[in-house]
Amino acid sequence: MELQIRIDGGAADDYVALTEYLNGSRDFRGRVKQVTGPPADGKLDGGIIEMLTVAAGSGGLGVALTTSVNKWLENRRPDVTVEVTATSKKRTVKVDVRNAPPNLLELFRDIMSNTDER
């Protein structure tokens, strides 16, 4: 199972920070990849980071990701929106940090708990 994380209103630094934050956890080390877009015209680099992918598999990693992303969001500036998509279930949760509901963690847990393959 693969989860995709997009950060709207964020910069490449936000993706790098989230990647480092997740890779700091034993649960996600080696499972987080940065996906870049095509290079801009006249450039040889790999383009800008468009999303992160997390190989969640089974065993409750979706719930662990929920907790980690929630903690990371608590320290972000208020103009960031995070979108998490479970590709195999085609379900998405989108959270605007400015208007994050009090039950944010439960919303994330709902989508993630329904994505873990058993």
pLDDT, residue 22, reads 92
| DSSP per-residue string spanning 59-106 | SSHHHHHHHHHHHHHHTS-TT-EEEEEETTTTEEEEEEGGG--TTHHH
pLDDT exceeds 60 at position 117: no
Q: Is it true that domain 2-113 has CATH number 3.30.1370?
A: no
Q: Do 99 and 82 meet the contact criterion of CB atoms below 8 Å apart?
A: no
What predicted TM-score, i.e. pTM, was given to this entire model? 0.74
pLDDT, residue 115, reads 47
- 11-59: pLDDT as tens digits: 788 889 999 999 998 888 889 999 888 776 776 666 688 889 988 766 5
Mapping DSSP to helix (H, G, I), strand (E, B) and coil, where does residue 50 land?
strand
